Amino acid sequence: MAPSGRAGDADYIVVGSGINALVCAAMLGGKGHKVAVLERNDRIGGCIRTEAATAPGFIHDVMATTFVLFVTSPAFAALGADLARHGLEFADSDTPTGVLLPDGRYTVLDKNRARNIASFDALSPGDGKTFDGEMQAFGGNAGLVFGLLGGSLWSTATLKLIVGEAWRRGLRGLAGFFGEALSSGRAHLETRYRSDVTQALFAPWVLHCGLSPESAYGGEMVKVIGFALEAAGAPIVKGGAQNIISAFERLIAERGGTIATSADVERIELDGQGKARGVRLADGSVLSARQGVICSVAPDQLYRRLLKDRPLPDDVSIGLSRFRHGKGDMQIHYALSAPPRWTHDPRGELSKVALLHLTPGLDGVSRASNECERGLLPAVPTICVGQPTALDPSRAPDGKATLWLQLPEMPRFIKGDAAGELAAPGDGRWSEALREAYADRVEAILASQIDGFRDSIIARRVYSPADLEAMNVNLVGGDPYGGYCGLDQFFIWRPFKSSVNHRTHVPGLYHIGASTHPGPGLGGGSGYLLAQRLR
């Protein structure tokens, strides 16, 4: 689609079209602003992408698939009814997540608290009661936690929130809360749960927050994820994630906005006072914006490409030079002739789990994560197995199934193989041969846990970190989280130590997306926060 509308007819131009950009555009349109969304690729959606990637009739969400962070977000509260009116529907399971260990032991997290208490107590007496206590305590802290995770941190509202909590808890009590919230995932799990299976159930979820088990505040994120999954499940979009993009398209158009694909923004245009006044496209055309330009891109794209040849303040230059990307990601998709039959699951519980992790446990997650961070291909990776057709049978022909695999511990630059089996490339880059060889390692693990798995495979499609970056330039090295999410590069320090909410040093130029607060995920948080603030 070529850029539509006349130059100068937009109040805001939004560069990029991921979930944050779409939320921001829809909300600004709801305020009566004319918004133009520009996407360099031939389709919108960012990390939301649906394709028949394996075989005809099989529908795959190539990257993101689970929308628990969206359905529990303020953005969904504001836009959900309108998106539903435009065709958005979700499918879910009563068992959003589970874990399967190499020896066949497993457990699942249910959306029913009583069943969770019983199953955790069966693994180790007292673990169920502990989980119940942790979730009840988290519920009491939810206002503060979600206020900090999802609010504008540099704001009067956040200051009032913290002052109010200090008054309610006392200064020492508030300090105690923050001290506890900084605990690592390992510290939290090892001091709460006796069963290694219960620990293994939650340990992989720190990876989905861009962290490792030893990272600060990982323990708090384990509680956040546990609370959200139990309350809202792990929903996927009926018919494929593309349908949420289509709903956003229709809503933005209904509110007077325009969307252009194959519209590669080359640079931000500034007026004589240094204010952002529009954009120049790669084809030389210029589109102007009366009120501002909003960029949903990685920091490199914003400051080294869209503001190239523009002098940067020292704090921005330093922040940019020190900004770090996190671990890479691999996606593997299967078209199967039948749903998987999990070998150690005679009751069929695992076949209904939305997101099942295969891992040796807490230590296994730590080991694979550490190997990845040292540039090694993990010997035994943490495998997240999504079973979309268990929730939404329409994604495959009758009686057949798809699997969605994510491996969140892939090195961006390869120095070696922790198993000593695969030769490291001389240039450190992913090749097609290495990608497929590593996928074979993953497939062998699946085949050890699923009866007749290899015989059921119709087709397989693998995306290495390099492939993901080729599809989306913001996924630097295949990092799907917009940059390392450790404490020093999160909250008020995201993306830079000098960052203040979503402002930049250029008046009228705003920065949103996974690289900005509140970070990655499908919650649309940064787009929502900025749209709330702009008048």
Q: State pLDDT tens for residues 390-402.
A: 999 999 999 999 9
Q: Decide if pLDDT at 265 tops 50.
A: yes
Task: Provide the pLDDT for residue 6.
Answer: 42
Round to whole Å and give the CA distance between 405 and 61.
10
Q: Is residue 95 part of a domain?
A: no
Q: Mean pLDDT over residues 357-364, rounded?
A: 98
Burial of 125 (0-12, 13-18, 19+ CB in 10 A): exposed
Does residue 165 share a domain with residue 207? yes
Quick one: 225 and 138 in the same domain? yes
Query: Are the C-beta atoms of residues 489 and 323 closer than 8 Å to each other?
Result: yes
CATH number at residue 84: 3.50.50.60
Relative to beta strand 236-237, strand 90-91 is antiparallel
3-class DSSP assignment, residue 306: helix
Count of residues in the chain: 535
In a domain, 477, yes or no: no
Do 425 and 455 reside in the same domain of the chain?
yes
Nearby residues of 115 by Cβ (< 8 Å), 6 or more positions away: none
Which structural domain, as residue segments, surrounds residue 295? 10-48+66-89+240-323+482-533
Mean pLDDT confidence for 323-342: 98
Residue pair 307/266 in contact (Cβ under 8 Å)? The answer is: no
More confident residue, 9 or 25: 25
Token pair recorded at residue 245:
């993009």
Residue type, 196: D
Is 385 within 8 Å of 356 (Cβ atoms)?
Answer: yes
Please give the Cα distance from 235 to 260 (Å, whole number).
29
319 in the same domain as 195: no
For the cut 80, the answer to whether the pLDDT of residue 128 exceeds it is yes
Residues 475 and 47: beta-carbon distance below 8 Å: yes
* pLDDT given at position 2: 40
Q: What secondary structure letter does DSSP report for 24?
A: H
Q: Residue 157 burial (CB < 10 Å; 0-12/13-18/19+)? A: exposed
Query: 97 lies in a domain?
Result: no
Same domain for 405 and 290, yes or no, is: no
Q: Report which of 329, 339, 359, 82 is spatially closest to residue 208, judged by C-alpha positions.
A: 329
Task: Compute the Cα dihedral for 360, 362, 367, 373 and give only its sign.
Answer: positive
Q: Residue 113 gets which letter from DSSP?
A: H
Q: Write down the residue that tokens 């159930």 correspond to.
A: 201
3 state SS for 239-275: CCCHHHHHHHHHHHHHCCCEEECCCCEEEEEECCCCC
Give yes or no: residues 188 and 268 share one domain.
no
Q: Could you please report the per-residue DSSP string of 169-220? A: H-HHHHHHHHHHHT--HHHHHHHH---HHHHHHHGGGGGGGT--TTSTTHHH
Do 409 and 336 lie in a common domain?
yes
Measured CA to CA, the distance from residue 449 to residue 383 in angstroms comes to 12
Beta carbons within 8 Å of 473's beta carbon, 6+ residues apart: 40, 298, 301
- What percentage of the chain exceeds 90 in pLDDT? 97
Cα end-to-end distance, the chain, whole Å: 29
Whole-number Å distance between alpha carbons of 80 and 30: 13
Q: Confidence class of residue 535 from pLDDT cuts 50, 70 and 90?
A: confident
- Rg (the chain; Cα; Å): 23
100 in a structural domain: no
Q: For 446-489, write each residue's pLDDT tens digit.
A: 999 999 999 999 999 999 999 999 999 999 999 999 999 999 99
DSSP state string for 324-384: ----EEEEEEEEESS---BTT-TT--GGG-SEEEE-S-HHHHHHHHHHHHTTEEPSS--EE
- Residues 216 and 251 placed together within one structural domain of the fold: no
Lowest-confidence segment of 5-9, 199-203, 364-368, 517-521 by average pLDDT: 5-9
Handedness of CA 391, 394, 399, 401 (dihedral sign): negative
Asked which of 180, 213, 232 is the last residue of a domain, the reply is 232
What value does the mean pLDDT of the chain take?
96
Query: What is the reported pLDDT for 5?
Result: 40
Contact (Cβ atoms closer than 8 angstroms) between residue 51 and residue 60: yes
Q: 457 and 387 in one domain?
A: yes
Shared domain for 202 and 253, answered yes or no, is no
- Cis peptide upstream of residue 495 (ω within 30 degrees of 0): yes
Distance CA 257, CA 255 (A): 6
**Nearest partner of 406 among 359, 341, 476, judged by Cα:** 359
Which of 446, 471, 496 lies at the terminal end of a domain, its last residue?
A: 471
Query: pTM, whole model, 2 decimals?
Result: 0.96
The vertex-423 CA angle with 330 and 434, nearest 5°, equals 35
- Eight-state DSSP code of residue 284: S
Q: Out of 53-57, 110-114, 308-312, 383-387, which region has the weakest mean confidence (pLDDT)?
A: 308-312
Q: Does 82 reside within a domain?
A: yes
**How many domains in the chain?**
3
Q: What is the pLDDT of residue 309?
A: 87
Tokens coding 301: 């794209």
Domain match, 491 and 518 both: yes
Structure-token pair, residue 42: 């031939």
Q: Tell me if 476 is assigned to some domain.
A: no
462 located within any domain: yes
pLDDT digits (tens, 9 = 90+) for 60-84: 999 999 999 999 999 999 999 999 9
Q: Which of 212, 232, 252 is the last residue of a domain?
A: 232
353 in the same domain as 316: no
Half-sphere exposure of 517 (CA within 13 A, CB side): 28
Region 48-69: mean pLDDT is 97
Helix (H, G, I), strand (E, B) or coil at 318: helix
Structure tokens at 518: 């509140």
Q: Does 277 map to a domain?
A: yes
